[in-house]
A and B are shown apart, each in its own frame.
Chain A
Amino acid sequence: MKSFLSALLRSRAGLFGFVLVMLFVAGAILAPYLGLASPIRSSLTSRMVAPTWTGLFSPGAHPLGTDELGRDILSRILYGSRTTLLIAAGAVILGGAVGTLLGIIAGYYRGIVDRILMRVVDIQLALPLMLLALLVVAAVGASTQNLVIVLALTSWLRYARIIRGQVLALREREFILSAHAIGAGTWRIMIKHLLPNVMTPVLVIATLELARIIIMDAALSFLGLGVQPPSPSWGRMLADGRVYITTAWWIVTFPGLAILLTVLSVNLLGDWLRDYFDPKLRTAR
């Protein structure tokens, strides 16, 4: 842990990503306690107010301006990050759990189970997932729960494939053989012995998947298939603000910047994690 932290402190890109991710998480969690304007209550007297930085801490300040209904954009971005992070984290955890488990099963049992699972992965990799996600969400409705499930479905295969490869190599190692020898059951070997040994690649894939899922979620809600109004979501803010592009550039600019910064910081952190845990890749830097 100590060497992990000191390595993180030495990498400028990794540290930048880590700090930004922490800031976003903190912002999402603390949003209701920051004394922000309401993200959903509209105010007809302050519609499309341009960003102003004077009197930043006074109650009526709008540092990022207001939208077409007079709602504070900073507040909407912070509240929107709650939905985004909730959905993305849910999808990453669900997809990661299912994918890891299936990867371990495929690698451990090999044979027909492995062949079928890997075929399914190959076939799903050859499908336009964005399009299918769009279709399924349109059909089943864009609730938080449905979005988590659909996004997880686009994600599990990336874990399954890599974890299977890891397990194929692990299952021949002495500690697994000795676990067999003392009579440990299949589940015990998979959960107690194999799972802890694949957690680092799982963590690396999960970070990179988080970035991909945040963009996909934003794209879905941009097309009107995200969490439904009045709950703020970044993609929706972009779609709504696009109409006012000629008169109020800030409505459409800042939510996109929020997506960019979040994805950038998660990517930086993910790249660094991969380089840290996989020395073979690290030398390439």
Chain B
Amino acid sequence: MTRYLLTKLIEAFIAIWGVVTIVFFVSRILGDPAVLLVPVGAGQQEIDNLRTALGLDRPLLEQYFQSLFSMLKGDFGISFQHTRPALDVVLERMPATASLAGLALLFGTLIGAAAGAIAALMRGTVAELIVMVAALLGQATPTFWLGIMLILLFSVELGLLPTGGSGTWLHYILPGLTLSVFVSASIARLLRSSLLDIMREDYVRTARSKGLMPRTVFFWHIARNALIPVVTMIGIIAGELLGGSVVIETVFAWPGVGRVIVQGIQAQDFPVIQAGVTLVAAIFVFVNLLVDLLYGVLDPRIRRG
């Protein structure tokens, strides 16, 4: 277990280092921030002065190691747009993104798990068909379009809910619903097929034949094992929710990290891009690490193997 844990930890660090490296070099391709920052009509002299002040005239590798070192200390530089520390700009947007993703993950998983279990337990019935068709549609629907359609129905036509922004709990309903559909569709399909696989195992037949209550067999022998792939899936989905936040936050004008990153890319605000992508990636990697560990707990073969 220690070795497994250690490998995963090292991998996590390499992953974050990789992101930081990609983000650093890619944002240097994006353009020269000095040109954007000087007032209109400023001469070359002023641009050069600013480049020196920002350290942009030094060799690229030196800048790279310099920023790696600062990032270790939590210093991502000053945002060009907001003229205050980039990490602060991103961190204060984090609660909005995290609460939305958490809400969608919670409700999506609950609905998806219930639907998946119903589909597996009621094989061949209309209930299974409905669940499976709904899940297929849910998986094929682009979240950003679903969001727009929900706005069209609930905000434009019925006038019940706000079209975007944040503030009250009403603002959570449409983006939360949109993301939950995506989450529950994946969970329902996976749990159903995983349950059906496990139900055919010999040890399930053994458990039944020795006279255990159906409920005991379901929860202790079937569900426990069927949940292993679902846990992995939840980790992957949590990551996709964070990475996909750029799209859904644009649709609902949600003041989260994804939106601030998109705005940063448009304004070529390197420090904000770096801080935002690094933060999201770090959380992403951390969630994956957590999933790997949980996986080890649920499936002892992995721990010992």
Contacts and interface: CB of A to CB of B under 8 A. Distances in A.
Interface-centre pick from A126, A215, A253, A261 (highest chain B CB count, 10 A):
A126
Interface size on A, as a range, is 35 or more
B18 A123 contact: yes
A18 to B, nearest CB: 15
Interface size on B, as a range, is 35 or more
A123 B277 contact: no
B244 A249 contact: no
A140 B25 CA distance: 11
A134 B145 contact: no
B15 interface: yes
A142 to B, nearest CB: 12
Interface string B7-49: 0000110110011001100110110000000000000000000
Given A132-B22, A139-B27, A123 B250 contact: no
Contacts of B156: 245-246, 249
B261 to A, nearest CB: 7
Contact of A130 (B11, B12, B27, B240): B240
A218 B142 CA distance: 8
B contact patch SS: helix
Contacts of B262: 134, 223
Interface of A: 119, 122-123, 125-132, 134-136, 138-140, 211, 215, 218-219, 222-223, 238, 242, 245-246, 249, 252-253, 255-256, 259-261, 263-264, 267-268, 281, 283-284
The 9 A-B pairs of least Cβ separation, nearest first, read A256-B145, A128-B243, A264-B140, A130-B243, A139-B29, A263-B140, A126-B288, A123-B15, A139-B26
Interface of B: 11-12, 14-15, 18-19, 22-23, 26-27, 29-30, 136-137, 139-142, 144-146, 148-149, 151-152, 156, 193, 196-197, 200, 239-240, 242-244, 246-247, 250-251, 261-262, 265, 273, 277, 280-281, 284-285, 288-289
30 contacts: A119-B14, A122-B11, A123-B14, A126-B239, A126-B284, A127-B18, A127-B19, A127-B281, A127-B284, A128-B239, A134-B262, A134-B265, A135-B23, A136-B22, A139-B27, A139-B29, A140-B29, A211-B140, A222-B144, A223-B247, A238-B144, A238-B145, A245-B156, A252-B148, A253-B149, A253-B152, A255-B145, A260-B140, A260-B141, A284-B196
